[in-house]
Structures are given as C-alpha cells and as structure tokens.
Structure 1
Amino acid sequence: MLTSVETDLIRVLADPLRLQIVQLLAKETLCTTHLVEITGAKQTNLSNHLKVLRDAGVVETEPCGRFKYYRLRPDVLESVAASFTDLAATARANAGAKRVC
C-alpha cells in the first residue's frame, strides 16, 4: 500500500515541468541557470517548481558561490519505485482471485 508521503510524491512528479527537471537532474547536477536554459521556463516559475521538489525531498541543494546547484536524491525515487514493485507483485500473485458477487 502506498503511504501518504508516497502519494504526495506522485502528485509532485505528475507535473510535466517537475518531471522534466527530475529527468535532467538524473543525468547531472545543475544550477537554476542551466535549468532555465534547458527547459525554457521562466526563472520564477522554475524556482517555484524547484521549491516544491525540495520540500518533497526529491532534490537537495549545494551552494557554489552565488549559484545554487540541484542534485536528485535517488533514494526517494527508489522508495516509491519499491512500493509500485510490491503492488505489481501483489497483483501478479492474486491475478486469479475474484470476489463472487
């Protein structure tokens, strides 16, 4: 069963721009300037999405001079993935189960 934290995380990742940010950060640590250039999003919009991802624990920040770099936290994604793997295993194990009406 998915926890409320995992359900909230799924909602966070359901946004197309946030999902794009996560996919980009899976490949490398990037600063806001890089993310604006790559996504074409406005700075304020991107900052708002990064805050949501930070608050959800999906990304962490690393200060570097006057820039802030963002790094993906794979353990958070692995936790949600494990819940879906468990759910799929349960469905597979109970594929023949049917409640009588």
Structure 2
Amino acid sequence: MSPHLRLALLLLPLLAAALCRGAPPAGELRCRCPRTVAEVIPPRRLARLELIAEGPHCAVPEVIATTKSGQTVCLSPAAPWVKLILARISSTHNQL
C-alpha cells in the first residue's frame, strides 16, 4: 500500500468525525440563522451573546444567544429588546 493511500485512510476517520459534529467546511458562505425569534428571553437566562456582522457569508447581521442551560437561539436583530441589549453592550465596550 502506498504511503499516500495509507495517510488518506488514517485521516478519513478524523474528517468524518469533524463533519458529524456539524463543523462547517472552511470557507463556507451561508447564514447560521435561517430563522430568528423575537420573543424576550430574560437576560438572567443568557450565558452568551454572539453578534455576527453582515458580510459575504450572510446579508443580514446575526445575533446568536446561548442560554445557561446550553440552548442556542437565533435572535431577531430588529427586536426592540435585542437592540437594547446590543446598545448596552456597545456602550460598555466603547467605555473600555
């Protein structure tokens, strides 16, 4: 067996494992949030907020919230409560 084929066979399970975990291939250009919610999630339930600016991967900005229970939710950036939280984060960040 050639060394190149042997290397390919060794790397194949690693690639399959990465794909099964849902890791997108490098350079994939698509939105991460096909649907968003506008319902209020109490800030005390939020563990993390991620803001992804619009760009070549997606035409709209995306706001992804992770709750303390580990649930991931795509929030509507147009929702008034989301705008308020983002404004507070932005003003805090600008003060640093």
Give TM class, smaller chain.
under 0.3
After TM superposition, the score normalised by the length of structure 1 is 0.26
Q: Which has the higher contact order (CA 8 A, sep 6+)?
A: 1
Please tell me whether Structure 1 or Structure 2 has the larger radius of gyration of its CA atoms. 2
After TM superposition, the score normalised by the length of structure 2 is 0.27
